[in-house]
Amino acid sequence: MTTEAAAELIEQQPERWLKALERAHKENVEIVQINVTGAWVANSGTKPGMGYQLELRNGTLTCSCAASNWDGLCKHKARWMERHGLLASV
């Protein structure tokens, strides 16, 4: 995801992205990269033992969680963007 694409996403709904990031921190959501495949995975903040795949394809960041599939915004994506310096830390 380019810096410009992330900025555009965040600019559309800045309060929602910051709230998603706050939830991610509160629920101890962590993002890890699998060394063999390069895939990114986030743990669920509410379902112990559950993980969600984050994928960057053609400049678009996707997440396999229900929230992301519903409207494209989720705490896992917010945490990924924070980790990559695209969303300010809370």
88 is a domain residue? no
27 is a domain residue? yes
21 is a domain residue? yes
Domain range for 42: 3-83
37 is a domain residue? yes
Give the CA diameter of the chain: 36
89 is a domain residue? no
Distances (CA, A) of 23 to 6, 59, 80, 90: 19, 25, 13, 10
Residue pLDDT, tens place only, 2-59 = 667 777 777 888 899 999 999 999 999 999 999 999 999 999 999 999 999 999 888 7
Count of domains forming the chain = 1
pLDDT confidence tier of residue 72, bands split at 50, 70 and 90: confident
90 is a domain residue? no
Sheet of strand 40-43: strand arrangement? 31-33, 40-43, 51-57, 60-63
pLDDT at 47: 94
pTM over 0.85: yes
Q: DSSP secondary-structure letter at 36?
A: T
> Minimal CA–CA distance to 77: which of 21, 13, 15?
21
